[in-house]
Structure 1
Amino acid sequence: MDIGMIGLGRMGGNMAERLRRAGHHVVGFDPSPKAREAWTGRDGEAVASLDALVGQLPSPRAVWMMVPAGEITGKTVAALKSLLGRGDVLVDGGNAHYKDTLQRAAELQGAGIHYVDCGTSGGVWGLAEGYSMMVGGDSGAIERLRPIFEALAPAPDKGWGRVGEVGSGHFTKMVHNGIEYGLMQAYAEGFSVLRHKQEFNLDLHQVAEIWREGSVVRSWLLDLTADALKKNPSMDGIAPYVADSGEGRWTVAEAIDLNVAAPVISLALIERLRSRDTDSFSDKLLAAMRNQFGGHAVKSE
């Protein structure tokens, strides 16, 4: 079928390519000329404006956004509201906050435009492995795009599904990413304990490979960890700074609003924030406190 892809970066470009390989006609747009050139280099069709993209699609149109959450998504939706028409479907496959999604869906509903939120997981591996998609929105609109979801998923009947009304897709993906924070933190801490047991001189890549088969902690994330340890066992050249996309923060905030205890996800988020404090005042003050009450030595910088 025909679909427009807005955003041809690492995720959007690979998703467009997976759709193209499955036989779908994809018209791509990205404000970056380099991104458009990269897409045309894959034998894709690119246009230089949203107006041109909508004009290339037959009605009722299907448009998929893979753009950063927040202001950029909001501006893109606002621009498309005047370009799309009744019966068209706009899919937001980015990591938008579900409350923003609810607001945008309500704004488009009056124009007869279906807003579908698709929480998308798969990263740079999605092109080869397929994407996990948690889809929220009108069931009829989602069913109409079934061939698109089936092509993007790991298999037509696996890795995707309608989880509920609009907003539920991004909400589910938000919690998914919060869980991801906790899993990553647990693996990182465990391998750090192994590395610090110096008398055993453990081969961390070997341990990861052993755990990958039959262990109760085996997972795709462990597979990726094993690959990272194979390439760089001591993590040379990597700064101890861990960024976050915001979804972990949203998950923790939602847990608080719902009176749900989520200590592992919350602490994993705090640890990411902790990694960015290269000149920790709190640690200096802790050392000073120990010196005050116990006379413990203070280590100079």
Structure 2
Amino acid sequence: MQIGLLGLGKMGANMARRLSRGGANVLVWNRSADVATQLAQAESNVTACPDMAAMVAQMASPRVLWLMLPAGAATEAAMDQLADLLAPGDVIVNGANAFYKDSERHAAEMAAKGLRFMDAGVSGGVWGLANGYALMVGGEADTVALVTPFIKILAPGPATGWLHCGPVGSGHFVKMVHNGIEYGMMQALGEGLALIKGKTEYGMDVAAISEMWRHGSVVRSWLLDLTAEFLQQDQTLEAIAPFVPDSGEGRWTVLESVEQGTPAPVMTLALMMRFASQGKHDYTDKLIAMMRKGFGGHGVKGDV
């Protein structure tokens, strides 16, 4: 059982480890070759490849190549290169975050060259190595069947934590919506705990409250588990900058809601709050402060 994995970031490297420990022979490639070499030295059943051509040459057809590369230029370049190296019937799986319409396009491009394509939304973060990854896959039934032995190793269990969602594009579509929901859940937990912390006259223990919620509460979740854990160590978070990046999938989810005309106000506002945390609301706030000064003579911070 042989698979090629391209892209050894935090998730890709751990997926390679889980596959190899599950019995698969894993060929790995990374833009920084040292990362692939070090992983191969640390893990049995892992072989580092200097380039994509060397990886393909070591594999027997039908080959399965699994990409864990950033969306955009890196993925497009890898897809183009692999298309010239692979043989008809070989499979490319894009398991990284990707816009589902790009996956539909990739499938059509690969099909024109006799290649098969599958999209896989992967969730689990740094905990996936130990706990398994939730896998949302899209593709033709025969393509998914060929990749299923590897999916069963990556998933929390052979029959749990993964689903063939539908045709190509459906896996990344479901993962996109999953991440939009995640944005909303994180925002709600953050706002709620901030309200509790802000009620200073009650002297409440935010860490104790979040820990209590984990047991029997309707808001219990893995996100709450993680929150309770770090609050036990630090409730002030004074060393943490109030900056929250957005990976792109939240944006895609909001754009999809606009295209469909399906209301998604919670996810949309959660995305807007991430933009605000990145300093993209600063100029707006300055303008509003100056408007208040203009009509009401209100003071402005920094005004001399």
For the superposition of Structure 1 and Structure 2, which TM-score range results when normalised by the shorter chain? over 0.9
Whether contact under 8 Å (1:121, 1:133) holds in the other structure is yes
How many angstroms apart in 2 are the aligned matches of 1:228 and 1:38? 30
How many angstroms apart in 2 are the aligned matches of 1:184 and 1:266? 13
How many angstroms apart in 1 are the aligned matches of 2:104 and 2:41? 36
Q: 1:56 to 1:231 in 2, by over 3 A?
A: farther
Helix, strand or coil at the partner of 2:71: coil
Helix, strand or coil at the partner of 1:217: coil
Aligned-pair distance for 1:119? 0.5
How many angstroms apart in 2 are the aligned matches of 1:247 and 1:138? 24
How many angstroms apart in 2 are the aligned matches of 1:145 and 1:207? 44
Q: Partner of 1:207 in structure 2?
A: 209
Q: Partner of 2:257 in structure 1?
A: 255
Structure 2 residue identity aligned to 1:243: P
Q: Partner of 2:32 in structure 1?
A: 32
Whether contact under 8 Å (2:71, 2:98) holds in the other structure is yes
Helix, strand or coil at the partner of 2:113: coil
Helix, strand or coil at the partner of 2:298: coil
Between 35-44 and 277-286, report the one with greater CA deviation.
Answer: 277-286
Q: Partner of 1:5 in structure 2?
A: 5
How many angstroms apart in 2 are the aligned matches of 1:276 and 1:260? 27
Q: Partner of 1:197 in structure 2?
A: 199
Q: Deviations over 1:106-143 (max 9, x none)?
A: 01002221100000001111000100010000111111
Structure 1 residue identity aligned to 2:190: A
Aligned-pair distance for 1:42? 2.0
Q: Percent identity?
A: 49
Structure 1 residue identity aligned to 2:58: Q
TM-score by length of 2: 0.96
TM-score by length of 1: 0.97
Helix, strand or coil at the partner of 1:102: helix
How many angstroms apart in 2 are the aligned matches of 1:115 and 1:186? 37
Structure 1 residue identity aligned to 2:241: A
Whether contact under 8 Å (2:275, 2:281) holds in the other structure is no
- Give matches, 1:84-103, under 5 Å: 84-103=86-105
How many angstroms apart in 1 are the aligned matches of 2:33 and 2:198? 48
How many angstroms apart in 1 are the aligned matches of 2:30 and 2:151? 21
Residue number among 80, 104, 107 corresponding to 1:105 in the alignment: 107
Q: Partner of 2:18 in structure 1?
A: 18
Structure 1 residue identity aligned to 2:267: I
Aligned-pair distance for 1:298? 2.6
Aligned-pair distance for 1:209? 0.7
Q: Deviations over 1:51-82 (max 9, x none)?
A: 01111111111110100011110110000001
How many angstroms apart in 2 are the aligned matches of 1:123 and 1:137? 23
Structure 1 residue identity aligned to 2:37: E
Helix, strand or coil at the partner of 1:41: helix
Helix, strand or coil at the partner of 2:136: strand
Q: Partner of 2:295 in structure 1?
A: 293
Whether contact under 8 Å (1:179, 1:265) holds in the other structure is yes
Aligned-pair distance for 1:291? 2.8
- Give matches, 1:55-204, under 5 Å: 55-204=57-206
Aligned-pair distance for 1:279? 7.8
Whether contact under 8 Å (2:134, 2:155) holds in the other structure is yes
Structure 2 residue identity aligned to 1:257: E
Whether contact under 8 Å (1:3, 1:64) holds in the other structure is yes
Residue number among 211, 219, 222 corresponding to 1:220 in the alignment: 222
Aligned-pair distance for 1:238? 1.0
Whether contact under 8 Å (1:31, 1:48) holds in the other structure is no
Q: 1:278 to 1:106 in 2, by over 3 A?
A: closer
Whether contact under 8 Å (1:2, 1:26) holds in the other structure is yes
Helix, strand or coil at the partner of 2:65: strand
How many angstroms apart in 2 are the aligned matches of 1:71 and 1:231? 40
